[in-house]
Amino acid sequence: MMRVGVVGATGYAGLELVRLLLRHPKVKMTALTAERYVGQPIWKVFPSVMKETDLVCQPLEVEPLAQACDFLFTALPHKAAMDVVPGFIQRALKVVDLSADFRLTDPNAYEEWYEPHTAPALLKNAVYGIPELHREEIKKTFLVANPGCYPTSIILALAPALKNKLIDHRTIIADSKSGVSGAGRSAVLTSLFTEVSENFKAYKVAEHRHTPEIEQELSRLAGERVVITFTPHLVPMKRGILSTIYASLERPYSENEILDIYHNFYANEKFVRIHPPDILPGTADVLGSNYCDIGLKIDKRNKRLILLSAIDNLVKGASGQAVQNMNLMLGLEESLGIDIVPLYP
C-alpha cells in the first residue's frame, strides 16, 4: 500500500486531507506534521478524528518524512512550501503542494504578487492541478501545484466558454464569495467571529493574489492574454465558495446552445455538474463533496452570459482536488476516496 504523509496536517486543508485519506482504500497515512502541535496525537488537536488514527504530529523535517512516505501533500502557507518541496523531490517523493508556490509558471509573476521564488527550477515541472483540464500531464508529473479555491471555481466555470470563444474575454468580471475557512486556521483579526458574523464585505479588491493564477489559466484556454476583474468577498459561513461571473457574448446565443456546449465539454467529468437553467447552484448543495456545480443564464437585454459556480473550498477547492490529483499521479481510479455525496442540510 502506498505510504502517504500530510505536511501541515493541523491546518484546515491538512485536516480535510486527513479526513479523506482515512477512508481511501488504496493508500495508508504514515506521517503528519505540524508546527505548534508537534508531539501531540492529531486526535487531541481535533477530536473529530478520535478512534480514527493514532498518528502523532511530527516536526517538518525532510529526512524522516522521506523515509516514512512515498507520497506527500504539503498544506503549508506559501513560502514555507517552496522551502521544503525541493528536498522531497530530490528524495524521489511525489508531491501535491496545496500552496501558491508552484502555481505560477513565471517566477517574475510570483515575485510581483508574493516574493522572490527560491525554487524556480521546479516551476517548469509543476503541473497546474485541475484534472478536468490537465489530466494527462498530471498523470506523468512528480509535482502538482494544487489550484487555489477561488481559481478552481472561476476557471471551471469559464473553461467551456473561453475554449469555444463564446465570450469577449476583455469583459470578464468574477465576483466571488467565500466562507471563512478559506482564510486558514491561524488567529487573525479579520477572521474573528465578531468581525465576520452578521457581516458581508469585499476584501483585497483588484489586488487578490489569486488573480495571476486565474489569468494564467484563462489565457491558456483562450489562446491569448486574458485580464479579468476579480472581487472576493467574505461570507459568514464556514465552508463554500460561490462565484458569479459575467461576460459579454460574442453573438446572441440561446441558453440551450450554451448549455449543450457545457454538457459536451464536461460530458465525462464525474465532479462537474451542469445545472438546468431553472436550478441555480448553491454552496449547501456541494458541502463536503468534490463537486463543482455550474449554472448559467443569459441576460438577453444586454447579451451577457452569467455563470454561477459553487464548490466546497476545502474539498474541490483544496484537499478533495488534491486527492483527485494524487489518484492520477499514482495510476489509481480518479474518484477513490472522494466519491462523497454532499452533506445536506
Ligand X SMILES: NC(=O)c1ccc[n+]([C@@H]2O[C@H](COP(=O)([O-])OP(=O)(O)OC[C@H]3O[C@@H](n4cnc5c(N)ncnc54)[C@H](OP(=O)(O)O)[C@@H]3O)[C@@H](O)[C@H]2O)c1
Minimum distance from residue 153 beta carbon to ligand X (Å): 11
Minimum distance from residue 157 beta carbon to ligand X (Å): 17
List residues binding ligand X (CB under 6 A).
8-14, 34-37, 60, 75-78, 80, 98-99, 148-149, 181-182, 184-186, 313-314, 317-318
Nearest to 5 by CA among 90, 66, 79: 66
- 38 or 50: whose CB is closer to ligand X? 38
- 153 or 275: whose CB is closer to ligand X? 153
Minimum distance from residue 200 beta carbon to ligand X (Å): 18
Residues 6+ apart with CB under 8 A from 271: 132, 290, 291, 292, 316, 324, 335, 338
- Please give the Cα distance from 161 to 238 (Å, whole number): 30
Minimum distance from residue 9 beta carbon to ligand X (Å): 6
Minimum distance from residue 185 beta carbon to ligand X (Å): 3
- 78 or 220: whose CB is closer to ligand X? 78
Q: Would you state the cell numbers that stand for residue 311, as one nine-digit string?
A: 464548490
Report the alpha-carbon angle 90-95-71, nearest 5.
Answer: 90
| Structure letter (DSSP) for residue 147 | P
- 160 or 320: whose CB is closer to ligand X? 320
Minimum distance from residue 170 beta carbon to ligand X (Å): 28
Considering the candidates 57, 69, 149, 292, report the single residue annotated as catalytic: 149
Minimum distance from residue 184 beta carbon to ligand X (Å): 3
Q: Hey, which residues does 41 pair with through a beta bridge?
A: 56
Where helices occur in 128-254 by DSSP H, the ranges are: 131-140, 149-163, 193-196, 211-222
Report the alpha-carbon angle 277-305-321, nearest 5.
Answer: 75
Q: Which residue is nearest to ligand X (CB)?
A: 11
- 149 or 249: whose CB is closer to ligand X? 149
Phi, psi angle pair for 176, to nearest 5°: -120, 145
SS3 content of the chain, % helix, strand, coil (to 5): 35, 20, 40
- 181 or 244: whose CB is closer to ligand X? 181
Nearest to 74 by CA among 42, 100, 98: 98
Q: Is 149 designated active site?
A: yes
Q: Catalogue the E-assigned strands of the chain.
A: 2-7, 27-33, 57-58, 71-74, 94-97, 127-128, 143-145, 173-178, 201-202, 229-234, 241-248, 272-274, 292-299, 304-311
Q: Is 245 helix (H, G, I), strand (E, B) or coil?
A: strand
- 250 or 288: whose CB is closer to ligand X? 288
- Residues taking part in catalysis: 149
